[in-house]
Structure 1
Amino acid sequence: MTESIRRTRLSVIAGIVATLIYFGAAELIARSLDVASAPALVIGQALIPLMPTVLIKSAIAVFGTHDKLALVITIVAGGAGLGAIIGWIGAQRRGLALVLLIGFGLLPAVVGLSSGAGLVATLPSLGGIAVGAAVFLVLLHLADAPGPGTDTQDQSPAQPGRRAFFGLAAGLSVVGIAAVAAGQSAATLARSAAGTVTKLVLPRPAASAPEIPTGAELDVPGLTPLVTETSDFYRIDTALFPPSIDAGTWMLRVHGMVEHEFTITMAELLDLPLQEHYVSLACVSNEVGGDLVGNAKWLGYPIRDLLARAKPLSGADMVLSGSDDGFTASTPLEVLTDDRAALLAVAMNGHALPRDHGYPARLVVPGLYGYVSATKWVTDIEVTKFADKEAYWTTRGWSTHGPVLVASRIDVPRPGATVSPKSGDRVVTAGMAWAQHTGIEKVQVRIDNGDWAEAELSEELTADTWRQWRCEHTGLSTGTHTVSVRAIDQEGNVQTSERRPAIPGAATGLHERQFTVE
């Protein structure tokens, strides 16, 4: 290997290490300042609206609620790749490489400022590039030491110099990656704790949620609970880092095609007669048998009463709700003005909304997928027409109305499980079924394409929540079997067996699971 090739390779390594240190240092600075302006987050948030629909859908399908972490990792890895190119350039043109490195590092600061962020939000990028550029220059200096076999009169300093390069490069790479991981972990902990440290004092509800009937939960080990713990509730949204909103200054604007526009503050909202309701929510990106669905107890004010105060004008047919982070959702006006428990919610499972789930206020609408209804960090409600306005996801190929389809899932047995029949040669299967606002009438189960058998249903909590089911099977031979499930709603709609992707209006098909009887 010639000395020129060797130095080029070392320069490439220097570029990669400098980039990793840049991301790591900036991440720690952002966490210490408690600002959501770490470069990976800023770049990611800028990229999300530009991503093609198929890529977003694929990311959610593969990574589920970890899609945002996957995006951060991808951005850091992509940055390291760009650092490699900058390092390659630096082997011949060091000044140009340094300019490119600084320019890349400053890009998130420029993006942040252009989106309205303050000067403090630029400090992570500025601090990160200062450290990254220094590391780049130090490593290039070490790379300049001649390697073994070069035509120099004194090669003795060479190998120590190269050993110092590789030792420093390896150590700094680990530090950079660890700093990014630590910063993301700290951010996750901060978001998780946000709901418990909020100062929102919740009033006693004017109308409490119904007591959970004894028969609403079936005693089957491994079956998903009727009420989802807040920490386990799925999160799919477009915010890499949830907005930090002061409830004391939060306001909701109601306007558009209405007789009376108005704004409402949190203090005014909490003075209204709030209601509690159990409502299950589902994500349109949920795959057949997926876990992007959950059930919680929500506290809030009926949206129909807010709209009644505004008095929508004739011809309006849609409400465009807007989030503090720029997200929008288009909801049919008739759904928000009928008798369903559509809420401007402030609490979840007895506590103020966690930051991840929309603190201080969000929308909860039974019977619609979240992309057209469940706006978090909501600050704007505009009464308008579908013909005049489009929302975030409808511009990306999803349908405009988003009604929840009847669906079911197998929880027990686990995929590929080996089961031993219980007394009486019984094998038990169990799971969940939902058709929010319509309600589940029946669940049917079959083994190995046999006849459909009716499953036992838990008692219904409300038509807006999912239901548990269980079914006993006898006479199963040893070996591998396939269990399938389908649900029927209160209007007689049978869950379709036709397989289709989530776009434009939710994935369909029957959930199946294989297990082995020993």
Structure 2
Amino acid sequence: MSNSTGPRRGIALLAALAGIVAAGVVLGVAELAGAFFRASATPVIAMGSTFIDFTPPWLKDFAIATFGTHDKLALLVGMAVTIAILAAVLGVVAYRRWALGAAGVILMGAIIVACVLTRAGASLPDAVPSVVGTVAGLLALRLLIARLRHAAVVPAADSGTPAPAGITGTGSPTDTTDGVVHPSGSRSAATAAKPGGTTSRRGFFAAAGATAVVAAAAAGGGRLLSGARNNIAALRDSLQFPAPASPAPALPAGVQSPVPGVTPFVTPNGDFYRIDTALSVPQLTTDDWVLRVHGMVEEEFELSFQDLLDADLIERHITLTCVSNPVGGYLAGTAKWLGYPLREVLARARPLDGADMVLSTSSDGFSASTPLPVLQDDRDAILAVAMNGEPLPVEHGFPVRMVVPGLYGYVSATKWVVDLEVTRFADRTAYWTDRGWSEEGPIKTMARVEVPQSFASVDAGTVMIGGVAWSQQRGITAVEVSVDGGDWEAVDLAAEASVDTWRQWSYGVDLEPGLHTVRARATDAADGLQTDQRADTVPNGASGWQSVQFTVK
């Protein structure tokens, strides 16, 4: 049976392996070279960030609903699988026709470069790591394919099995269009086969293994070098903030629900939810950070980090909520924030008549459109520099981010913020409004049942039910629960810290063994009872009453 239509299955698998190893070289060498450039200049970050930019809202919601705060890890795993498949295909193509395989590698390199150069703030030199990585990968693939061709010839001649496509039974090359020199026909097939196919295959595996080790070492070295060059952790540890001109009011006694298992009133930094579009966390130093304020204003100016430290800072407890939070979801958290009031920034800029929006932009290109009046009223919207008594974690916007009570984060909570443009909704749009979300995102009133959790099993007797409710800028005045479809009963509300923080609650009820259901709803001081109308997160946040089923044993 002729094998002229392609390599044998075993050879095809080895060619695919060669392609995967070569792709590893591309990424590893680019990672090493990228240590001297911005993080977004490396291929994985550039491609992943570009994918995030073009992700439709329904897919983004699916990723968050399925993977939660691990959505970026899921993206990286998906990218790794996709790259491996494409690389395997290119490896097989390169074995059969080197010119086509090389063209495919170059095309992929060009796509990576395009992803890099379209990132916010990118410049032509940022393409260097991708170009260097592509060249290194191309050379690695050529080496491995040459080794594989040699390995393929030897056992074919020795065992009498048909030679792979392009190789005659005598070992003479019949296809020179691939640019790979085949074993010379100056020796007979039997002579060429003397060392044995096993030795030649071992040579291929040795080359592939050594190349993979080099790729991994390059990637690891690049990460270590990047960490050494961007030691943000040491910078954060060295920062000292002045005492706030307006400290946060002390939390009243009784803000925490007495029900075991209810979330802490103040969310630890490490547990605070993270939802953003940054695949690689921006590594900005306090010396690098500058905020530009411009647009429809009488005075354009810039603020440095030291300018913020020298200003009158305020400290407040504020609950933030993500618009992607489903009914009963955990994409909400409360922290003590330290920062400079945005109304003071805008007072200095003096917005012109007709302006109605502030477009805030992150160092990684994300943007949010915040209604101008919200940033000028008496709410404590701030440029935050600290979270729970320490400098902002890099994942949460170090060195400076926006915190705006009462609005979902997609229109207000810009991390790594470097630009504020006073403009109009009619003239400018933001990242998520370009993708079908509402221009304004006031947070909806919500009650969440945390104890018992769905499908939990609890002991019979008095069952303690507890959770939190929020309605930032309006304040929670009541929470009610209904057990097994019965009447709505008022719960015990914990103390209120402020209208900008969530409020915890508890309720005890005697229940017999069996399956039970509890629903919860909240009332706020402005709009009244939380709506029972179910709504998806798109385009302006989920709504409805949460229902939890559990078993009493």
Shift of the 322–16 alpha-carbon distance from structure 1 to 2, 3 Å rule, reads same
TM-fit CA distance, 1:87: 1.6
Q: Deviations over 1:115-165 (max 9, x none)?
A: 554677556435544553344234323432234752564476213433554
TM-fit CA distance, 1:28: 5.4
| More off after superposition, 15-24 vs 482-491 | 15-24
Residues 258 and 311, structure 1, Cα contact 8 Å, conserved in 2: yes
TM-fit CA distance, 1:224: 0.7
Does 1:55 pair with 2:91? Answer: no
TM-fit CA distance, 1:32: 8.5
Does 1:450 pair with 2:486? Answer: yes
Instruction: Give the Cα separation in 2 of the matches to 1:46 and 1:337.
Output: 34
Identity of counterpart residues, as a percentage?
46
- Aligned to 2:518, what secondary structure does the other structure show? strand
Q: Deviations over 1:178-229 (max 9, x none)?
A: 9879988998999996386365431110010011112011233221111111
Shift of the 278–132 alpha-carbon distance from structure 1 to 2, 3 Å rule, reads same
Residues 457 and 550, structure 2, Cα contact 8 Å, conserved in 1: yes
Does 1:157 pair with 2:192? Answer: no
- Runs of 5+ consecutive residues of structure 1 not aligned to the other structure: none
Shift of the 163–515 alpha-carbon distance from structure 1 to 2, 3 Å rule, reads farther
Question: What is aligned with 2:401?
Answer: 362
Question: What is aligned with 1:389?
Answer: 428
| More off after superposition, 56-65 vs 340-349 | 56-65
Shift of the 37–493 alpha-carbon distance from structure 1 to 2, 3 Å rule, reads same
Question: What is aligned with 1:419?
Answer: 458
Q: Deviations over 1:330-383 (max 9, x none)?
A: 111221111111112111111222222122221111000001111112222222
Residues 232 and 283, structure 2, Cα contact 8 Å, conserved in 1: no
Amino acid at match of 1:60: I
Does 1:43 pair with 2:47? Answer: yes
Residues 195 and 359, structure 1, Cα contact 8 Å, conserved in 2: no
Give 1:236's match in structure 2, choosing from 257, 264, 275.
Answer: 275
Instruction: Give the Cα separation in 2 of the matches to 1:238 and 1:435.
Output: 26
Amino acid at match of 1:22: V
Amino acid at match of 2:532: S
| More off after superposition, 372-381 vs 172-181 | 172-181
Instruction: Give the Cα separation in 2 of the matches to 1:407 and 1:169.
Output: 56
Give 2:323's match in structure 1, choosing from 258, 264, 284.
Answer: 284
- Aligned to 1:8, what secondary structure does the other structure show? helix
- Aligned to 1:10, what secondary structure does the other structure show? helix
Does 1:332 pair with 2:371? Answer: yes
TM-fit CA distance, 1:462: 0.8
Instruction: Give the Cα separation in 2 of the matches to 1:92 and 1:302.
Output: 64
Shift of the 73–176 alpha-carbon distance from structure 1 to 2, 3 Å rule, reads farther
Question: What is aligned with 1:74?
Answer: 78
Instruction: Give the Cα separation in 1 of the matches to 2:385 and 2:130.
Output: 35
Question: What is aligned with 1:139?
Answer: 144
- Structural RMSD (CA): 3.1
Does 1:8 pair with 2:22? Answer: no
Amino acid at match of 2:491: A
Residues 35 and 121, structure 1, Cα contact 8 Å, conserved in 2: no
Instruction: Give the Cα separation in 1 of the matches to 2:270 and 2:226.
Output: 15
Amino acid at match of 1:258: V
Question: What is aligned with 1:22?
Answer: 26
Amino acid at match of 2:486: G
Shift of the 190–431 alpha-carbon distance from structure 1 to 2, 3 Å rule, reads farther
TM-fit CA distance, 1:77: 1.8
TM-fit CA distance, 1:40: 0.7
Shift of the 427–196 alpha-carbon distance from structure 1 to 2, 3 Å rule, reads farther
Q: Deviations over 1:225-279 (max 9, x none)?
A: 1111112111111221122223224322222222333322222222211110111
Instruction: Give the Cα separation in 1 of the matches to 2:513 and 2:48.
Output: 50
Shift of the 123–164 alpha-carbon distance from structure 1 to 2, 3 Å rule, reads same
Give 2:392's match in structure 1, choosing from 353, 373, 383.
Answer: 353
Instruction: Give the Cα separation in 2 of the matches to 1:86 and 1:498.
Output: 52
Question: What is aligned with 2:68?
Answer: 64
TM-fit CA distance, 1:399: 0.6
Question: What is aligned with 2:173?
Answer: none
Amino acid at match of 1:136: L
Residues 257 and 467, structure 2, Cα contact 8 Å, conserved in 1: no
TM-fit CA distance, 1:74: 2.0
TM-fit CA distance, 1:112: 3.1
Instruction: Give the Cα separation in 2 of the matches to 1:332 and 1:435.
Output: 19
Residues 402 and 415, structure 2, Cα contact 8 Å, conserved in 1: yes
Q: Deviations over 1:457-481 (max 9, x none)?
A: 110111100111111110x221222
Residues 289 and 511, structure 1, Cα contact 8 Å, conserved in 2: yes
- Runs of 5+ consecutive residues of structure 2 not aligned to the other structure: 163-188
Instruction: Give the Cα separation in 2 of the matches to 1:139 and 1:478.
Output: 67
Matches within 5 A, 1:312-323: 312-323=351-362
Instruction: Give the Cα separation in 2 of the matches to 1:235 and 1:189.
Output: 25
Alignment TM-score, normalising by the size of structure 2: 0.84
Residues 192 and 356, structure 1, Cα contact 8 Å, conserved in 2: no
TM-fit CA distance, 1:61: 2.2
Shift of the 250–167 alpha-carbon distance from structure 1 to 2, 3 Å rule, reads closer
Amino acid at match of 2:521: R
TM-fit CA distance, 1:388: 1.9
TM-fit CA distance, 1:398: 0.6
- Aligned to 1:91, what secondary structure does the other structure show? helix
TM-fit CA distance, 1:35: 4.0
Question: What is aligned with 2:500?
Answer: 464
Question: What is aligned with 1:494?
Answer: 529
Instruction: Give the Cα separation in 1 of the matches to 2:198 and 2:539.
Output: 61
Shift of the 171–440 alpha-carbon distance from structure 1 to 2, 3 Å rule, reads farther
Instruction: Give the Cα separation in 1 of the matches to 2:429 and 2:210.
Output: 50
Question: What is aligned with 1:434?
Answer: 470
Does 1:257 pair with 2:296? Answer: yes
Residues 195 and 354, structure 1, Cα contact 8 Å, conserved in 2: no
Matches within 5 A, 1:405-416: 405-416=444-455
Instruction: Give the Cα separation in 1 of the matches to 2:80 and 2:45.
Output: 10
Residues 192 and 354, structure 1, Cα contact 8 Å, conserved in 2: no
- Aligned to 1:383, what secondary structure does the other structure show? strand
TM-fit CA distance, 1:283: 0.7
Residues 458 and 468, structure 1, Cα contact 8 Å, conserved in 2: yes
Question: What is aligned with 1:201?
Answer: 240
Instruction: Give the Cα separation in 1 of the matches to 2:223 and 2:63.
Output: 19
Instruction: Give the Cα separation in 1 of the matches to 2:404 and 2:308.
Output: 18
Question: What is aligned with 2:541?
Answer: 506
TM-fit CA distance, 1:288: 1.5
